[in-house]
Amino acid sequence: MTNPSKIDIRSLRLEELTARLAEWGEPAYRARQVYEWLWNKGATQISDMTNLSLALRNRLEEHFEIRNVKVQHSQFSKDGTIKNALTLHDGLVVESVMIPTPTRITACVSSQVGCSLGCTFCATARMKRMRNLNPDEIYDQVVAIQKQAQETLGRPLTNIVFMGMGEPLLNYRNTMEAIEKITSPQGLGLSPRRITVSTAGVAKMIRQMADEKVRFKLALSLHSAIDSKRSRLMPINETNTLADLEAALDYWYQQTRSRVTLEYVVWEGVNDGEEDVRALVRFARKFPSKVNLIEYNSVGEDSLRQAHPSAIAAYTEALEAAGITCSFRRSRGRDIDAACGQLANKGEAVVQKTS
Ligand code: SAH
């Protein structure tokens, strides 16, 4: 647990840290050393910072602490996927997933504890939103999986997807700051092209990212290109309609020249008809995109069922005929509820906040 009289050292920017240490008469390069320990070497305690004098380490410890996320528990799928339950400094729990393939290792990270969007098919929606994650809490998920990748497979982490719990664009600043720490040379130095932010569709923030000329990739969870159906599946569509999203994604492409991925699950009797296929082709053609058909992972006690393979084939054929790249993503880690939409802290008792 945290000590409320101490400051979370990772909440300070480099300039703030530099100013703080300057008050103690320390030169600017000291602050850079501390920063490197925090964001490049992933130090978990101030005493790890062995190139600082003992006096400075003690002084830092009097005022600051590192609020590391702790891996409380990991579950191992027979397909190699690992799901982690992580405890935050206030006792809340989030999940992250390591997904290995022969050529890459992907970290699937959470951006919020729970989620406010209420998508009918997603288990996280049942938890409601408890709070946003701080940049360091997102960063720690990546570092934990980086270690796991080396320890279990002897290979480095190659990709990051923001497809865990929560809506990253409703925790915008913290998500951007975490990505900055993950990609900057003073941080982990991972290429932004290997990071994908997935959104349920917050048009205003898609435009904001485009204006900031971010260099990571963007995925939109679409699931239907017909407004009335999409609103039933994803209530956020009532305020961020397909027309809003189309305009925002077009703007995104103009600014970034980066092709958007459209994520799409086909459900029996919901979006497996010809008009659904036509609507998706029309939508996907409006700006450069590719479609990722995702296998549905049941979240229990609901009426949604994965569509028949022939319905999926109808989508693939129509998309290919229209010249739109399309892939079908097999589910990973289902046996441990680690697949898309299955993250709901089931393995763990969530410590409920009282205030
Ligand atoms: N809030 C973000 C990221 C979290 S969800 C978003 O909506 O994109 C990550 C992906 O999993 C999204 O594409 C989402 O639509 C998909 N997903 C959610 N529940 C699912 C389920 N039960 N089966 C398959 N995919 C699911």
Distance 13 CA to ligand 1 centre (A): 32
- Percentage of the chain exceeding pLDDT 70: 96
pTM over the 0.75 mark:
yes
Q: What is the CATH number of domain 70-336?
A: 3.20.20.70
- Average pLDDT estimate for 228-244: 98
Q: What is the mean pLDDT of residues 267-296?
A: 96
Q: How far apart are CA 62 and CA 75, in angstroms?
A: 37
Tell me the domain boundaries of the chain.
7-65, 70-336
Decide if 166 contacts 113 (C-beta within 8 A).
Answer: yes
Catalytic residue from among 108, 115, 326, 340: 340
Residue 178 CB: number of other CB atoms within 10 A?
Answer: 28
Residue 171 — very low, low, confident or very high, per pLDDT cuts 50/70/90?
A: very high
- Which of 72-81, 244-253, 343-352 is the least confident region? 343-352
Q: Looking at ligand 1, which residue's alpha carbon is closest to its atom 4?
A: 163
Q: How confident is the model at residue 329 (pLDDT cuts 50, 70, 90)?
A: confident
| Active-site residue identified among 95, 137, 167, 263 | 95
Retrieve residue 280's tokens. Answer: 């998706």
Per-residue pLDDT at 146 exceeds 70 = yes
Query: Does 238 qualify as catalytic in the annotation?
Result: no
Residues with CB under 6 A from ligand 1: 121-122, 163, 167, 198-200, 221, 263, 265, 294, 296-297, 299, 340-341
Higher per-residue pLDDT: 259 or 339: 259
Of ligand 1's atoms, which has the minimum distance to the CA of residue 198?
8
Based on the residue annotation, tell me whether 275 is a catalytic residue of this protein. no
Model confidence band, residue 354 (pLDDT cutoffs 50, 70, 90): very low
Residue 147 has pLDDT above 50, yes or no: yes
pLDDT score of 303 more than 90: no
Looking at 1-10, 39-48, 206-215, which range is the least confident one?
1-10
Structural contact between residues 223 and 271, judged by C-beta atoms closer than 8 angstroms = yes
CA 315/CA 302 separation, integer angstroms: 24
Say what the pLDDT of residue 1 is. Answer: 62
Examine the pLDDT at 350 and tell me if it is beyond 50.
no
Taking the centre of ligand 1 as the mean of its atom positions, its distance from the CA of residue 127, in whole angstroms, is 14
The CATH architecture to which 7-65 belongs is: Orthogonal Bundle (1.10)
Instruction: Look at 2-16, 158-172, 178-192 and tell me which has the smallest mean pLDDT.
Output: 2-16
Tell me the CA–centroid distance for residue 7 and ligand 1, in Å. 35
**Tens of pLDDT, residues 115-130:** 999 999 998 988 888 8
| Span 133-160, average pLDDT | 96
340 Cα to the center of ligand 1, angstroms: 5
**Residue with CA nearest ligand 1 atom 17:** 341
Residue nearest to atom 19 of ligand 1 (CA): 341
- Classify the phi-psi angles of 162: left when phi > 0, otherwise alpha if psi is within -120 to 50, otherwise beta: beta
Task: Give the position of tokens 């915008």.
Answer: 172
